[in-house]
Amino acid sequence: MDRMIFNISKDDAGKRLDNFLKFEKGFSTRLIKKITKNDCAFINGKTAWADDILKEGDIVEILLKENKEQDIIPEDIPIDIVYEDVDILVVNKPPFMVVHPTKSHQSGTLANAVMHYFKRTNQNCIVRLINRLDRDTSGLVMIAKSQFAHQAMAKMFEKNEVKKEYIAIVKGKMEGKGTIDLPIDRPSLDSVKRCVIEGGQRAITHFEVIDSNEDISIVKLILETGRTHQIRVHLSHIGHPILGDELYGEKSSLIGRQALHAFRLTFNKLRGENKVTCTANIPYDMLDIIKKYNLDFQEGPHE
């Protein structure tokens, strides 16, 4: 069981408990109802109700019970932990690993590995993915340890309060920096592939070329929105598909997957105001290409 304690300041005095938890601390309405219904909220040591009015100097205590079961088999698979605190776990997913079990991938997934880690470290958590990556995309994946953390971090992602940076190696010579603001959607309901399409969901990708030659370019990308395949679709649409991306470009002899890596996440901790920056090493298959073409890459640490 996790415990959260809030000291009520002058600015928060006069607010209802439920409004304080929802608008100031990121709790969902559903979670607030669950907490107050199950006597898991206290003000100055006494059981609290949703409509209780807070006073300056009050101490609010919230108990978070995490006792749900999950049908994911723990598997002893090594994981590269980049950051961990009481609320979240951030790991560097290798390429060719599925994030969550599916009908065709019941085992060997990142979720199987994380579940084993939680069991081994005696953390009573289930795997709550906050962001996801394609099987062949490497890089940072964030997992919440509680319903509260999942909802609060998901809201931060939706409000673009988490800075999401990627590195891609693309075909052809790109120059400068700019923004791609083009809507994305499926051309049909049964299509796996997405495309830029009028009336689709707005998608915004900022890019900056780190280095390039006539054959390839290293590009840093920052997602302002998080549409499925967004980076892959946008880069392909402007004539620079990601190297090795068979769905939106073509197969490459240089790499056996799309050369895309989620290399940095920057966000505020859920408890306190500290800013956290997580950086994942660029994998060898992408570094080999960069070295082969003698390009200059200075973004982030290397393996």
* Entry pTM: 0.81
Q: What pLDDT does residue 229 have?
A: 96
**What is the CB neighbour count within 10 angstroms for residue 228?**
15
**What is the CB neighbour count within 10 angstroms for residue 32?**
21
Cα 17 from chain centre? 29
- If pLDDT is split at 50, 70 and 90, which confidence band does 272 have? confident
Q: How far is CA 213 from CA 60, 219, 261, in A?
A: 58, 12, 20
Q: Which 3 state secondary structure label does DSSP give 50?
A: coil
Q: What pLDDT does residue 64 have?
A: 76
The residues assigned a catalytic role are 134
pLDDT tens sequence across 56-115? 999 999 887 665 667 899 999 999 999 999 999 999 999 999 999 888 888 999 999 999
Going by the DSSP 8-state scheme, the letter that residue 148 receives in this structure is: H
- Across the chain, mean pLDDT equals 91
> What CA–CA distance (Å, rounded) separates 202 from 53?
41
Question: Please, which residues bridge with residue 295 across strands?
Answer: none
> What CA–CA distance (Å, rounded) separates 162 from 268?
8
Domains plus CATH for the chain?
Answer: 2-64 (3.10.290.10), 80-158 (3.30.2350.10), 163-292 (3.30.2350.10)
> What CA–CA distance (Å, rounded) separates 214 from 50?
63
Q: What percent of the chain has pLDDT over 90?
A: 72
Does residue 130 contact residue 157 with C-beta atoms inside 8 Å? Answer: yes
Contacts for 16 with CB less than 8 Å, ≥ 6 apart? 50, 51, 52, 53, 54
pLDDT tens sequence across 229-241? 999 999 999 999 9
Contacts for 260 with CB less than 8 Å, ≥ 6 apart? 134, 136, 137, 138, 139, 166, 167, 168, 231, 232, 242, 245
Q: What percent of the chain has pLDDT over 70?
A: 96
Per-position DSSP letters for 106-122, written without gaps between them: -SSSHHHHHHHHHHHTT
Give the residue among 279, 162, 168 at the shortest CA–CA distance from 224. Answer: 162
